[in-house]
Chains A and B, each alone.
Chain A
Amino acid sequence: MKTRPAVLIASYVIVTTATILFLFPIVWLFLTSLKPPAEVLEVALPSRLTLENYETVLATFPVGQYFINSILIAVGSTLVSVGTGSLAAYSLSQYRFRTRQPMLLMTLLMRLLPGVALGIPLFYLFSSVRLTNTMPGLILAHTAIQLPLVIWIMIGFFEDTPAELVQAGLVDGCTRFSVIYRIILPIVTPGLAVAAIFSYLLSWNNLDLSLILAPTPRLVTMPVGISNMNLVYGVRWDLMAAAAVMYIIPTIILALLLQRYIVQGLTLGAVKG
């Protein structure tokens, strides 16, 4: 269908305006973080750009430690959830067995549950086995929010893999297990990357579970640290902006890598982009 020129121009105007509105606060955050400290109390564009705020915040606040904590927890939980979740997804897309439907149902419910509903009992249970305030405890808790996403994304990828490949492998003498790592694995590597990036971001962005399960300073993650900074720093928005920018640069890079699959990830595969 041909779009009339007037409609096309209106569309461009609407979309451009909206995009500017959506990105402007983020640009403003970047600019604030690059302001010279003397200008923090002025609501204006910086007169020159400097990295001083970054140096200050790194020197006065354990942002580096938060950053490392966040990375370790995100990487650890991603390895666990992608490793176990993709295996489960393969089985759920390939085989029929009695616990299949209940398991699919369970993953959906896991996706819906509020963090506090999981965090409260986990806090008590983890305390009784000394897992609160530990890295493994947080990693395990984060896998709970990642598994549903990994499983549903990977089911989508496995379903797009021709069934004949599995059949051919079996005929050629592969076992059911070696079919997985000789034939399926190389094909779905991009899918695993997508699932891994999604998982990483879920953990990287998580506030509630980290807040509940690791109240000690030692294990503070970036989102928890950044929300605390606000209480400590009050009006030093330039320093907070610097910390926030350090935190969101990896997010933005990963989100851009993912963009083709975001629609699928947001809807547990119900809508394909």
Chain B
Amino acid sequence: MSMTMQRPAPPAQGPAPRRAPTNRRTRTRSLIGAAYAAPTAVMVGLFFVTPLLLVVWMSLHKWPLLGQPTFNLPDNYAGIGDNQLVGSAVWFTLKYTVIMTVLLFSLALGLALLVQNRRRGVGFLRTAFFLPMAVGFASASLLFLGLLSDEVGPVSDALRAVGLVDGYVSWTSGSANSALGSTVVLVLWRFAGFNMLIMLTGLQAIPLEVYEAARIDGASRWQTFRRITLPLLRPTIALVLTLMITGSILAFDQFWILTRGGPDNSTTSLVMVIYREAFIRLDLGSAAALSVALLAVLVIVNVVQLGVLRRRSH
């Protein structure tokens, strides 16, 4: 198996105007086009725009899982401040986002640099780094639950053998730090290859002549990396960082499956709190208010990213 990177299709162009079109033909054609786009419009309208408005509407109401909603603004939003679990989940999610983004970014960039040039074995390496992506994230979380368990997993045995730990160890629920560490390792394993591939696409879009020119000017490897690779890679880096930050803020599966939010709620993320409000405390209104707050944060993150991308294209 080898990976080939293909250049993206040429930039989008609108349909060329027809030669001397009669008004009626244009109108018929635009009706036909609208008809083909209708399924998309229905899907987007019904399952995206409607729930987006609905979640805001719900956040203004006391909305039990069963029974009639009643207007209660601003109780749901006020309740966010009083909910102690929200406070700890916000801090934990922020901490997790910073740790995860720094480590995942460094690893993915390192891997991309390692495999960017054609040489022997590079196809195998790319596939090896990328293969974890084929395992669903929930499955990967279960895989690591076994891998890190003392019952069947080899990790504790190996560390005991070299004397790093002794006795029974519970990585995923032993302590707050080891539970967080377990999820970090899981996410690194699962997503490093994915992000490596995006950065590889960015690296390969840098023209070879630029490197050539730098070499002739006598730039060192480090200078070339700092002054050429990093600046030209900026749009890709912005994209990858946004994906990582957004993904970390929305983390759920890994904690739900691997650590169950524990020990003592120490790894309970924001989305877990939303789930808990909705389906354990059966309070959809307060879950909706949390969702709206989270959405606002994510929109800001995305706007910042767009700003970075814009700046580069001017």
Is B one of A's binding partners? no
